[in-house]
Amino acid sequence: MANEVVLLGFWPSPFVARVKIALAEKGVQYEYKEEDLENKSSLLLQMNPIHKKVPVLIHNGKPLSESLIVVQYIDEVWKDGPPLLPSDPYLRSQAMFWADFVDKKIYPVGWKLWTTKAEEQDAAKKEFLENTGLLEEELKDKPFFGGENLGFVDVALVPIYSWLPVYEKFANFSLVVERPKFIEWAKRCMEKESVSKSLPDQQKLNDFKL
C-alpha cells in the first residue's frame, strides 16, 4: 500500500512538533502544509470538523487528530522504526500516564506563564516548577523518559524546550538554575536530529506575538 502522508500544522505549535518528531524518528516522508489559524483552510475544517485544530495527519486520505493519539498511531503503523511506546502493557500505561500529565500539567501552565501577570503568574511559576520537579523525579537517572532511547513521553514533552525562553522572559525565572536536570534532558533530546529539526526556533518564538 502506498503511504501518502500529509501533515497540517502551524509552526509555533508544540503539538505539531510532536507529530513531526514521531514521523522523523520513523523516517516517514510526508508533505507539510502550514495553516493560517486566523483563516483555516477548508481541508483543515473538513479533516478535523470537531476541534478544527492542528495537528492533523492525513494518512492515505484518512484524517487523525489530537497529537498524542497521532503519535501513538504513527508508532503502531510504522513498526520498522524505533518503538516509541513500550510493548509491556503496564509500562505502556505508565508512558501514557506521564504524557497525559504533560498535557494537563505542563503546557497549560506554561501558557499561563506567558499570558498572565502578578499573582496568577506567580502561582503558575510555582506550579510549573513543582511539575517539572515531578518530571525530574520520574526521569531518575535515565537519559530519556523512554529509557536508553527517545520514547513517547520525550516526544510529548520536548517541544516545551522551544518555549522556555519565552516563559523565562515573561515570568522572570531561570530553569537552568531551578531545574538543571530537566534542561540537561532537553539538550540531550536536542542532540537528535529528529528533535532539533522538528522544534520551532527559540529566537523566532521569542519574537512571536499572539
Instruction: Give residues in contact with ligand GS8 (CB under 6 A).
Output: 10, 13, 15, 37, 52-55, 66-68
CA–CA distance, 83 with 86 (Å, rounded to integer): 7
13 Cα distance to chain centroid: 8
Residue closer to ligand GS8, measured from CB, 108 or 180 = 108
Residue closer to ligand GS8, measured from CB, 51 or 117 = 51
Task: Identify the residue whose cell numbers are 526521569.
Answer: 139
From the CB of 111, what's the least distance to ligand GS8, in Å? 8
Residue closer to ligand GS8, measured from CB, 8 or 150 = 8
Residue closer to ligand GS8, measured from CB, 13 or 162 = 13
From the CB of 48, what's the least distance to ligand GS8, in Å? 8
From the CB of 58, what's the least distance to ligand GS8, in Å? 14
